Structure 1
Amino acid sequence: MGLIILIIVGGVIGWLASMVMRTDGQQGILLNVVVGIVGALVASFLLNPLIGGGNIMAGDYSASSLIVTFLGAVVLLAIVNLIRRGSAR
């Protein structure tokens, strides 16, 4: 059950991050889920030690963990855009 919730939350967070970074038209629902879950990993390794917050990979679905995961997904999309286009937009 936790995996299904992680996939749903990862998809929503990946979709929101792609809307913010204006890459929504380039990726489908599968890539939104991947961005959300990988964004959660980025957040747990890079952002949690810096700003704190929970970790949705550990099953913590609080507001702070969702915000940190969203920031991780945005950072991930910025890095991908930087590598792909040479600008983070």
Structure 2
Amino acid sequence: MNIGIIEPYSDGFIEVIPDGEGSDYWHIAAIHINGKAFCPSPKLYRSEKIALAKAAQIYDWIAENEQEISDWGAYCEKLQLILWYQPKAS
């Protein structure tokens, strides 16, 4: 059973999960940076390696543009995706 991967990256971590049991496709579940979690708009990636590489690109974009991200999230034109800010449960 593959429940996904949490991989340290820079000062945070990235999470990817398979599309389903035995699937070759992966989603980026969340990007965790500076104590915040961001979820990109849903997209399937053809492998775990591709999903992790894209998650790293997203992390780098957030790190460079964090001041531009609002309370709900942001649109990243460079990567053509929406990032939703996921507040911590209280």
TM-score normalised to structure 2 length: 0.38
**When you count strand as a share of all residues, which structure comes out higher?**
2
Structure with more helix by fraction: 1
Q: Report 1 or 2 for greater relative contact order, CA contacts < 8 Å, sequence distance ≥ 6.
A: 1
